[in-house]
Amino acid sequence: MIGLGLIGGSVMRAAAAAGREVFGYNRSVESVQAATADGFDATENLDDALRRASDERALIVLAVPVPALPLMLDHIRRTAPDCSLTDVTSVKGAVLQEVRSFGLLDRFVGGHPMAGTAHSGWEAGDAQLFVGAPWVVSVDDHVDPDVWVQVSLLALDCGAVVVPARSDEHDTAAATISHLPHLLAEALAATAGEVPLAFALAAGSFRDGTRVAATAPDLVRAMCEANADQLLPVLDQALERLHHARELLAGHQPLTDFVDQGHAARVRYDSFTRPDIVTTVVGAPGWREELAAAGRAGGVIRSALPVLGTRE
């Protein structure tokens, strides 16, 4: 594990609970000491961790924010270039580009566990964080079947369900269901912050609508800024809807369409089903395209898929 914050620390705990050997690096001594005190194998020496990863042919998991990736990838390129590599970052296209620029694409399969809290750091970690959560494992054109299986098994061991997706499609969806909510939550919280009495009356609607505004600002900036190209079109769509609502209100017109469309979409989400993906043979001709299509249709992987050339 490279980075032992909320997500890295949670993966470390969950992987260890599943019986895996897991060791990690964190840049701050305090977090390394806290992890060690909790019984985990951690160091603040990145090259020591990477040398060990190389010796043990470990799967390296990058769990640092996007701006920290170039430094980590540079060390990996020099010390552990043959290790399988994944990440947990909330944007996939930007990470793919970075990994490619460091010449590490061959052994890389991007990942994104769709779970989190507004808290940060080792103390915030939780072995149960990923239970039942979707964990995107990318099926981009370059993806190697062996590495894909390693990354998927890690996600399954952490209790997640695997959603296969291409990085570009992930980024458009993540812009809509994660990065846009962050922008809306910041705007809502700041707006209420200017209104006298608002906090005194605030209850469920305000709490739920602004929950993610409590996330560490650097993390919010890192994910929204790194996914700006995908975020802009969905932000425009949301603004268009809000402008429409504004016009209706200003003209004392009913909000019928605006509210009905939102309500209908939310009801559809509540009844959204996730069919199991069970038949795709990893490594067989067209397996990546088949998984991307199944993921797009809402499919999830709940247990290991058959792999070409094995008996299972």
Closest CB to ligand NAD among 108 and 287? 108
Is 42 a binding residue for ligand NAD by CB under 6 A? The answer is: no
Is 163 a binding residue for ligand NAD by CB under 6 A? The answer is: no
The CB-of-117 to ligand NAD minimum distance in angstroms stands at: 6
Is 5 a binding residue for ligand NAD by CB under 6 A? The answer is: yes
> Which residues inside 282-311 make contact with ligand NAD, applying CB under 6 A?
none
Cα separation, 84 vs 59, in Å, equals 5
Concatenating the DSSP letter of every residue in 54-91 gives HHTTPEEEE-S-GGGHHHHHHHHHHH-TTSEEEE--S-
Closest CB to ligand NAD among 143 and 220? 220
User: Which member of 84, 86, 89, 210 binds ligand NAD (CB under 6 A)?
Assistant: 89
User: Which member of 18, 43, 52, 68 binds ligand NAD (CB under 6 A)?
Assistant: 68
Is 161 a binding residue for ligand NAD by CB under 6 A? The answer is: no
Cα separation, 226 vs 52, in Å, equals 31
CB distance 168 to 95 below 8 Å: no
Which of 8, 33, 204 has the alpha carbon at shortest distance from 88? 8
Closest CB to ligand NAD among 89 and 280? 89
User: Which member of 93, 110, 111, 113 binds ligand NAD (CB under 6 A)?
Assistant: 113
Is 116 a binding residue for ligand NAD by CB under 6 A? The answer is: yes
CB distance 222 to 178 below 8 Å: no
Whole-angstrom distance between the N-terminal and C-terminal Cα of the chain? 29
Closest CB to ligand NAD among 113 and 159? 113
Is 63 a binding residue for ligand NAD by CB under 6 A? The answer is: yes
Is 85 a binding residue for ligand NAD by CB under 6 A? The answer is: no
Is 26 a binding residue for ligand NAD by CB under 6 A? The answer is: yes
Residue 60 forms beta bridges with which residues? 85
Closest CB to ligand NAD among 156 and 219? 219
Concatenating the DSSP letter of every residue in 104-163 gives -GGGB--EEE----S--SGGG--TTTTTT-EEEEE--TT--HHHHHHHHHHHHHTT-EEE
Total number of residues binding ligand NAD (CB under 6 A)?
Answer: 24
CB burial of residue 280 (10 Å; 0-12, 13-18, 19+)? buried
Q: Which residues contact 310 (CB under 8 A, 6 or more apart)?
A: none
Is 1 a binding residue for ligand NAD by CB under 6 A? The answer is: no
Closest CB to ligand NAD among 5 and 93? 5
CB distance 171 to 227 below 8 Å: yes
Footprint of ligand NAD on this chain (CB under 6 A)?
Answer: 3-8, 26-28, 63-65, 68, 71, 88-90, 113, 116, 120-121, 216, 219, 223
